[in-house]
């Protein structure tokens, strides 16, 4: 997904490296192309603006201009700035607190929560945890079966909830049943809505209250591009999310949302 962006940046870098000397004009031209490449990758214009300003102030320094390989220096600066933008700190999933730990997945309808719950369970198992999938989406008739199917495909136990039950009660009962099922980490698959509404947020808030999950992750469809940032902000305001999982990265999403979610939220973007 980042291939397009990196191809474009590579060609800008090639041009910059080709210059024996760099003057302000060369650098400005290079920056203009970096800016275009980022905007075409669907990175939010405010993120791009800040990013370009940062590179400009570092690149216009005397050391760069007078170095023997100014083009190389600028390329290094852009690389370093991109790495910083993506997050220098690596933040792990929070599984602290007395077991069983819970990780709550939230997100709009169809964003990929249920599928991600399965992927997360596999990831947790690789990390030595014993995951327990909890279907807390009681509205879509097939939602519980969907998670049960995923669970049986990957050999992860799924809490036995029934449609129509109260999602908060399901989560509480699942927590109580975790150890009996030899599990130490609950993955809560919650319901989605077409739009963010009070009812959804209220329900998610009640689950959060009751379970006190160690981490709450927003699952956002990478295809929603910049909207993912606004969605993340709304969920963060109400639930104080710990991170974002961008789903459907195998599609033809342009990647900008990843850079923008990382840049605009104190929460980390995980993918
Ligand atoms: N290609 C691709 N498709 C995905 C991915 N994740 C989910 N999907 C598909 O997207 C659709 C919705 O995924 P779900 O996991 O059911 O999404 P959800 O958020 O649980 O949906 P609701 O429960 O209805 O809110 C399904 O058809 C999935 O197969 C992914 O990483 N790649
Ligand atoms: Mg679902």
Closest CA to ligand 1's atom 30: 248
115: Cβ below 6 Å to ligand 1? yes
The whole-number pLDDT of residue 266 equals 44
Any atom of ligand 1 within 6 Å of the Cβ of 270: no
Buried b (16+ CB within 10 A) or exposed e, 117-136: bbbbbeebeeeebbbbbbbb
Query: Which residue, by CA, sits nearest to atom 32 of ligand 1?
Result: 248
- Locate the ligand 1 atom nearest the alpha carbon of residue 107 and give its number: 19
pLDDT along the chain (271 residues), means of 10: 74 77 80 87 82 85 70 81 72 86 96 96 96 94 94 97 91 96 96 88 96 95 80 92 87 65 53 42
| Ramachandran area for residue 87 (φ above 0: left; ψ -120 to 50: alpha; else beta) | left
> CA angle at residue 199 from 100 to 134, to 5 degrees?
25
In this predicted structure, what is the pLDDT of residue 187? 98
Residue boundaries of the structural domains of the chain: 3-86, 101-270
CB count within 10 Å of CB 92 equals 10
What CATH fold (topology level) applies to the domain 101-270? Rossmann fold (3.40.50)
Q: Does ligand 1 have an atom closer than 6 angstroms to the CB of 3?
A: no
pLDDT at 271: 42
Q: Is 223 helix (H, G, I), strand (E, B) or coil?
A: helix
Check pocket membership of 185 for ligand 1, CB cut-off 6 A: no
Residues within 5 Å of ion ligand 2 by Cβ?
113-114
Query: Residue 76: its pLDDT value, please?
Result: 84
142 alpha carbon, distance to own chain's centre: 26
- Of the residues 114, 115, 140, 270, which should be mutated to test ligand 1's pocket, given the most ligand atoms within 8 Å of the CB? 115
How close is the Cα of 267 to the center of ligand 1, in Å?
23
Predicted model pTM = 0.78
Query: What architecture (CATH level 2) is domain 3-86?
Result: Up-down Bundle (1.20)
């Amino acid at each position: 997904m980042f291939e397009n962006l990196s191809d474009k940046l590579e060609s800008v870098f090639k041009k910059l490296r080709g210059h024996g000397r760099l003057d302000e004009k060369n650098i400005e031209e290079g920056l203009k192309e970096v800016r275009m490449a980022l905007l075409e990758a669907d990175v939010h214009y405010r993120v791009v603006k800040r990013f370009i300003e940062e590179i400009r102030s570092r690149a216009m320094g005397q050391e760069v201009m007078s170095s023997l390989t100014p083009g190389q220096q600028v390329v290094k600066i852009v690389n370093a700035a991109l790495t910083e933008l993506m997050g220098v700190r690596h933040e792990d999933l929070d599984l602290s607190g007395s077991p069983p730990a819970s990780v709550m997945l939230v997100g709009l309808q169809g964003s990929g929560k249920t599928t991600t719950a399965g992927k997360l369970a596999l990831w947790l198992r690789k990390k030595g945890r014993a995951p327990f999938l909890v279907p807390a989406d009681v509205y879509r008739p097939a939602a519980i079966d969907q998670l049960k199917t995923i669970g049986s495909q990957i050999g992860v136990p799924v809490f036995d909830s029934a449609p129509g039950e109260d999602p908060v009660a399901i989560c509480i009962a699942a927590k109580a049943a975790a150890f009996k099922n030899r599990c130490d980490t609950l993955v809560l698959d919650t319901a989605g809505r077409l739009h963010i509404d009070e009812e959804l947020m209220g329900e998610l808030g009640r689950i959060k209250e009751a379970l006190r999950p160690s981490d709450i992750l927003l699952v956002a469809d990478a295809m929603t591009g910049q909207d993912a940032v606004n969605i993340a902000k709304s969920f963060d305001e109400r639930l104080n999310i710990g991170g974002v999982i961008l789903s459907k990265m195998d599609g033809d999403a342009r990647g900008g949302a990843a850079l923008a979610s990382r840049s605009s939220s104190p929460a980390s973007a995980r993918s």
